[in-house]
Amino acid sequence: MHRALEKLYRSSLVYPPMQDVHDDPSLALRPTTAFVDLDALRRNLESLKTRVGSARILAIVKANAYGHGLVPVSRALLRFGADALGVAFLEEGIALRRAGIRAPVVVLGGIIGNQISHFLEYDLDITASSVFKLEQIEEVARSMDKRARIHLKVDTGMERIGMHWDTASPLFSAAVRSPHVEIAGVFSHLAHSDARSAEYTRLQLERFLEATSYFERESLPMPPRHLANSGAILQHPDTYFDMVRPGIALYGIYPSVEVARSVPLDPVLSLHTRVVYFKVVRAGSPVSYDGTWIPEEDTRVVTLPVGYGDGYSRGLSNRASVLIHGQHHPVVGRVTMDATMVDIGESSAYNGDEVVLLGRQGEASISCEELAELQGTIPYEVLTSLNTRVPRVYLEGGRPSRPAESTRAS
């Protein structure tokens, strides 16, 4: 696959990395590449839509779409039927708008006052997490003669942002009275939805229902409610309400080892590189920094042009394996910023041979979950750590494809 990359870059079918010289497709010829399977992304979204029925899909694309590429993945998700996009920060929302995306974009993270005018300028939905922040939103919207679309955040047990569930009524009341505010939603976040035990999720659900009963008590229309993240979509149907917020599940990863596999998911991203050097390392010769691996007998070692500067973690040193010619071979010595060494023993490998660090080669595979376990972390961190200097290639129908631009309105 890599032999065709230079032609693909030159024909603009591949999104290059995003900074400095990496912006020039003619220079983006790195053999280390993340492949993003849009067919898998489509299947995952369709499976999740089937699962949640009439609930709308707020597709979460924060953190560079979990490492898959913010703009191209967002365009693809909208084309595949997502109703809206969710990000964490204002800058992510602005990037989507500047890319020509006009679908609803909800910024789910906390805000500070000087950001509000930019939310309104770019028509982004704002999270209002306190009465004070709501008053700031109302004031700026009034001064700009605009109406701000807000989502009221209720804290039911995450203790991150939002009014506590039992003191949320003043926030709701203030929002109802604010003439320059449109309540586009009310939501909370589930802290244990992917756990085997449903006890804490049930408690959070009860708190959410109690908090939002304010609107019924006051004979007010119930705003659209959204509570379910990936874990809840998979195993808590009573949390679906009007809209759901799939994140990691969109990308083909189950949020925990405990969560119910109620929906089939296919991994979307794979990480490939190529051999750039081959040598025989003599017995007793330390490999890489600090000499943490020393062969007991002569062996063959290949060097890969990928390291922790790309998001291939230093924590994989002397732990992970890679796939060469469909066989597992161990990473040896410290993973460095730009290079990783692999012991191939008596096997053969040549400069330019394909190496899979994450994904499938022949009958063998390396999963995101496996890499996360080796690092003592979670798959979310493995994916979002992939640096922007790693080019992303988008595949559809098995062929490189630039996701169609989406400018559809809400």
One DSSP character per residue, 123-154 reads T-BEEE-SHHHHHHHHHHHHHTT--EEEEEEE
Name the nearest CA neighbour of 85 among 34, 118, 122.
Answer: 122
Cα angle for residues 98, 120, 72 (degrees, 5° grid):
25
Name the nearest CA neighbour of 165 among 176, 174, 157.
Answer: 157
For 5, phi then psi, to 5°, come to -65, -40
Give the H or E element holding residue 234.
helix 230-235
The count of other CB atoms within 10 Å of the CB of residue 140 is 21
For 269, phi then psi, to 5°, come to -110, 140
Name the nearest CA neighbour of 108 among 192, 226, 213.
Answer: 226
381/159 Cα distance (integer angstroms): 21
Give the H or E element holding residue 60.
strand 56-60
Q: Is 289 known to be catalytic? A: yes
End-to-end CA distance of the chain: 38
Is 127:175 a contact under the CB 8 Å cutoff? no
23/1 Cα distance (integer angstroms): 22
Cα angle for residues 266, 270, 272 (degrees, 5° grid):
160
Q: Which residues pair with 345 in a beta bridge?
A: 300
Name the nearest CA neighbour of 91 among 109, 77, 66.
Answer: 109
Q: Is 251 known to be catalytic? A: no
403/38 Cα distance (integer angstroms): 9
Residue 338 identity = D
The two beta strands, 181-187 and 243-244, are: unpaired
Structure tokens at 52: 């949640």
- Catalytic residue, from 7, 277, 279, 289: name it: 289
How many helices and strands (H and E) does the chain possess?
12, 20
- Catalytic residue, from 9, 49, 62, 66: name it: 62
278/269 Cα distance (integer angstroms): 27
The count of other CB atoms within 10 Å of the CB of residue 99 is 15
Instruction: Return the active site residues.
Output: 62, 289
